[in-house]
Amino acid sequence: MATEKKKILYICGSLNQTTQMHKISSELGEYEAWFTPYYADGFLKFLTKIGILDFTIMGGVFKKRTLAYLKKHNLNIDYEGKLNKYDLVFTCQDLIIPKNIRQSKIILVQEGMVDPETFWSKLVRKFHLPRWAASTSMTGQSDLYDIFCVASEGFRELFIEKGLNPNKLRVTGIPNFDNCAEHLNNDFPHKNFVLVATSDMRETFKYENRKKLIQRALEIADGRKVIFKLHPNENVKKRSAEIKKYAPEALVYYGIPIEPMIANCDILITRYSSVIFVASALGKKVYSDIDEETIRKLTPIQNGGISAKNIAEEARKLLELTPEKSRKDFNEGKFRFYFRKKLAKVRD
């Protein structure tokens, strides 16, 4: 009698997160793969249903793009993981870990940049408020996963500094950021320009002085061609008009991949975005809210595009463990980590 295939659920999010999950699943063809857009339960599920959270990866344009991608590639869709019991769950973010996956083994995969620590995120941590209230600065803080696959040694060190269990961290590299050289061969028509990658800060209820950003870009360009690439979550008509008001000669692009644009530019200007890693890997000059030394340290390892394969190997190892052994290893590792943290506090 044929052995039933083990089942894996891939929780997607933005298009970047979704394509990463698809690449990982392609390396695990011996298992049964199912996909779902990012989701929550309880009160957050209600807020998503009535559209209040449409600016997040749980709704709005993000959810529509994810579903369109999954259907286009004929992938099995199990909306909110309701159809099956899963042996393993991959998730793109642990700010929310739905209750229906907590009995499965879980692998968290880093998407790219994480938000910086703020006064608010420190309050969230101190008073044990919901992680999602502090945005991606709380990535990895749930400790509800078995493995967290990260982009580089620099990020591993950063997450350890944030208090994450080092026993769960694996430096595998991350799909979509592990072979930036492939973008050098492209058909984007412009070269040797200053590229400004805008953000959706205002769409996600954060403050940004866009006029100041535009004026800074023009100063840095010093007469060179300036091209703006709008964030996928921005209002194209409104933001384009804003740019044209202060930089009438600038070109504005949207709805196309930014990687070829980065490959062809001389300088990248942005705020706090994962696109700085592509620029860093390609040796471009970067102006952002992060100092260049930190950018170089955090830049994802360039391994020729084998990160998905590396992550798949971690998944196989985890799936090979019996439930008893897995639980024993997990609990022992968690206890040792907890004891070290307590001892460090006593020493301080």
Structural domain boundaries in the chain: 7-178+303-347, 180-298
- DSSP assignment of 63-80 equals HHHHHHHHHHTT--B-GG
pLDDT value at residue 208: 79
Size (the chain), residues: 348
CB atoms < 10 A from the CB of 82, how many?
9
pLDDT value at residue 142: 94
Token readout for 148 is 């967290």
**Domain 7-178+303-347 matches domain 180-298 at the CATH topology level:** yes
Token readout for 290 is 């992060």
CA–CA distance from 151 to each of 4, 19, 162, 268, 299 (Å)?
33, 16, 16, 21, 7
How far is residue 214's CA from residue 313's CA, in Å, rounded to a whole number?
45
Q: What is the pTM of this model?
A: 0.86
pLDDT value at residue 189: 96
| Angle at CA of residue 116, ends 98 and 112, nearest 5° | 60
Token readout for 149 is 């696959």
Measured on CA atoms in the order 332, 336, 342, 346, is the torsion positive or negative? positive
How far is residue 135's CA from residue 8's CA, in Å, rounded to a whole number?
26
pLDDT value at residue 17: 95
Which CATH number is 180-298 given?
3.40.50.2000
192: region left, alpha or beta (phi > 0 left; psi from -120 to 50 alpha): left
* CATH domain 7-178+303-347 topology: Rossmann fold (3.40.50)
> SS3 for 188?
coil
* Full pLDDT tens readout for the chain, 348 residues: 557 889 999 999 999 999 999 999 999 999 999 999 999 999 999 999 999 888 888 998 889 999 999 999 999 999 999 999 999 999 999 999 999 999 999 999 999 888 888 788 888 887 788 888 777 889 999 999 999 999 999 999 999 999 999 999 999 999 999 999 999 999 999 999 999 999 877 767 677 788 999 999 999 999 999 999 998 888 889 999 999 999 999 999 998 999 999 999 999 999 888 899 999 999 999 999 888 899 999 999 999 999 999 999 999 999 987 554 454 454 455 545 544 554 444 444
At position 16, the amino acid (one-letter code) is N
pLDDT value at residue 7: 97
- Name the packing angle between helices 15-26 and 307-320 (round to 10°): 60
Contact 131, 138 (CB under 8 A): yes
> SS3 for 336?
helix
How far is residue 301's CA from residue 316's CA, in Å, rounded to a whole number?
22
pLDDT value at residue 327: 47
How far is residue 39's CA from residue 117's CA, in Å, rounded to a whole number?
24
Q: Nearest Cα to 22, choosing from 88, 66, 62, 57? A: 66
Sequence-distant (6+) residues with CB within 8 A of 65 are 14, 15, 18, 232
pLDDT value at residue 6: 95
